[in-house]
Structure 1
């Protein structure tokens, strides 16, 4: 009798208790996203090892969040609810990233999807995900050092 580690109770309790095929699907989408991201970077002559390493680290951290969602799911006893929402979020995120990479490389994308991607882009022409990635880079955070902001709040009574 052979038992794989993914079928043990310890794996299901501490790592992943959901449908293992969803996890495999997410891994495949991540690999495709890495491939399309590298192809886009080569096309735009912007292949930068530090930026790609940051992307790979992000992918690994996604698995940490999935493990955390599994543990929270086990504690709260939601029978996979939190875990499935988390993994479907990352599946949708990876799919969107693949479509965005392909569209930026000139691959024809259906008009409905292109319209949705245009909504996600801001006035500078960069996507929201790109802005979030840039927010966490050290060069961008150095620009913000020493800046101060003033916020004024006015409350009116009816």
Structure 2
């Protein structure tokens, strides 16, 4: 389900980027959301007494990989005509995934979340096979 959300949000992001002449800030926002996700992940692990340097390091490496993927899309867009805004779309897709992760970290800390966000997370987890089957 997260892949579908990323695909749709990336496509919408690319269209919006095209319509407004490029976002430019998409990667900056992505990096900020990645930092927030990492920080909330550390907070969640500390609260739940699950701090693990290996898990934190692996999370950091995954974020670097995602940035490399976005950079790859920007580079490919330089040589393939007509997909100039695909990099912004990819960055926006990863922004949505980072927001979902930040929200999940909050719920794991026991913090209040609006009902519609809880429902969205439940749907994503259920579709990904992580939720409880009812």
Q: How many residues align?
A: 109
Larger radius of gyration: 1
Correspondence for 1:75: 79
How much has 1:58 moved relative to structure 2? 0.6
Report 1 or 2 for greater relative contact order, CA contacts < 8 Å, sequence distance ≥ 6.
Answer: 2
TM-score normalised according to structure 2 size? 0.74
Give 1:102's match in structure 2, choosing from 106, 109, 113: 106
Correspondence for 1:92: 96
Q: Report whether the alignment pairs 1:28 with 2:32.
A: yes
Correspondence for 1:120: 124
3-state SS, counterpart of residue 77 of structure 2 = helix
How much has 1:95 moved relative to structure 2? 0.6
TM-score normalised according to structure 1 size? 0.63
**In 2, distance between residues paired with 1:114 and 1:83?**
30
- Over aligned residues, Cα RMSD in angstroms? 2.0
Gaps of 5+ in 2: 1-21
How much has 1:41 moved relative to structure 2? 0.4
